[in-house]
Amino acid sequence: MDKIRNLQAGAREWVWYVIAFVILMIVPFSGSIFWTNLLTEILIMGLAAMSVNLLLGFGGSLPFGHAAFFASGAYATALLIKETNLPFVAVLIIAPVMAAVVGAILGIIITRLYEFYYAIVSAASCMVLWTLIRKVPIFGGDTGITGVEIPEILSSIDAMYIFTIIIVFIVLIFTKILLNSPFGWIQQAIRENPNRVTCTGSNVLRHRYIAFIISSFICGIAGMLFVLHTQSTFPSYAHWVKSGDFVMICILGGVNTFIGPMIGAAALIILQTYITSLTEHWLLFLGISICLLVIFMPSGIMGLAGHLPSKIQSLYRKIRS
């Protein structure tokens, strides 16, 4: 019985992903360049936030330095395309691997820490990278790297959008499988109670380290996609404020859900776009609306969405009685 119920619940979730995929694929045919562009950005930022949520919501850590891996992926892509003659497919593989390498180096220290220390050291190491990017000439200083040429086939907005959807969905499926695997379960158990995990014979330190590298690899993919989308990269990608954006997107969307970061990215970017067009004091209003969202939806948009059916049911019962 249980097995059947689990299967059904699992299948229903996959059906939602297929529906989302199909709807997203249709967007370019509506002819709206504005929405196609906006959705590309949402998908990329959502992917970066999801890599953060792998450690935040599913690992119980507070990674405040993922801009470092976003920027590593971005700069690696830009430099590989501009400075080498590598085939494009090789760039697609090497760029995220570079981000993972940076993650493997920084993770040695960061993953030994917990809570505030974890957050502060990850933010600090991100700022070290930011300084390096601005000072080392090959990274182009404060002006960054612009005019990154991408293959003909991706040069249209629609093509880039479709390419982004495909890559993002591949990574989403990979992440989903990962979270259901023993690795993913131990990762979540570490969030609940790291000491108990140690006492049942799993190496917590090694586990957190590997998870950190996987997460930085995925964040590197997001950085890479962003460069292909905008064809330029700037030092601000490595600034800790960018890391803060990722964390905020996760909290806004709901850290305890798989798809939360995607929803959070959509909410934040759409909010940003609309408020900017209304007033020049947009940051003020953006801040206030985010405060309100967090106060009234402490478990994020997806958290509220999860409770909604039961709330409607209880309201319905009240009305009937």
Partner 1 sequence: MGDTFFEIIGLEKSFRGLKATNNVSLSIKKGEVCSIIGPNGAGKTTLFNLITGLIKPDAGKIYFMGKDITGHSPVDIVHAGIARSFQIVNNFPRFTVYDNIMIAALGYKKLAMKMFTPAKGIAKNEIMELIDRIGLAKEAHSLAGELSHGDQKRLEVGIALASHPSLLLLDEPTAGMSSDEKGGILETIKRVMKESDCTVFLCEHDMKVIFSVSDTIWVLHNGAVVTSGTVDEIRNNSLVKEIYLGEAE
Task: Name which of residues 169 to 188 contact partner 1 (CB under 8 A).
Answer: 177-178, 180-186, 188
User: Is residue 310 within the footprint of partner 1 (CB under 8 A)?
Assistant: no
The alpha carbon of 266 is separated from its chain's Cα centroid by a whole number of angstroms, namely 12
Among 112, 135, 196, 307, the residue binding partner 1 under the rule CB under 8 A is: 196
Out of 66, 207, 208, 229, name the contact with partner 1 by CB under 8 A.
207
Would the CA dihedral through 142, 75, 68, 260 be positive or negative?
A: positive
Helix H or strand E encompassing 169 = helix 157-180
Question: DSSP class of residue 239?
Answer: S
Q: Is 193 in the site for partner 1 (CB under 8 A)?
A: yes
User: Which DSSP helix (H) or strand (E) runs through 145?
Assistant: strand 145-146
The yes or no reply on residue 299 touching partner 1 (CB under 8 A) is no
Tell the smallest beta-carbon distance from residue 250 to partner 1 (Å): 18
By CB under 8 A, residue 276 contacts partner 1: no
Burial 68-87 (b: 16+ CB within 10 A, else e): bbbbbbbbbbbbbbeeeeee
Both tokens of 52, joined, read 């953060």
The rounded distance, in Å, linking the Cα atoms of 128 and 110 is 14
Q: Which of 120, 157, 210, 248 binds partner 1 (CB under 8 A)?
A: 210
- Could you say whether residue 8 binds partner 1 (CB under 8 A)? no
Q: Which of 6, 84, 155, 279 binds partner 1 (CB under 8 A)?
A: 6
Minimum CB separation of residue 196 from partner 1 in Å reads: 5
> Which residues contribute to the site for partner 1 (CB under 8 A)?
2, 6, 177-178, 180-186, 188-189, 192-193, 195-203, 206-207, 210
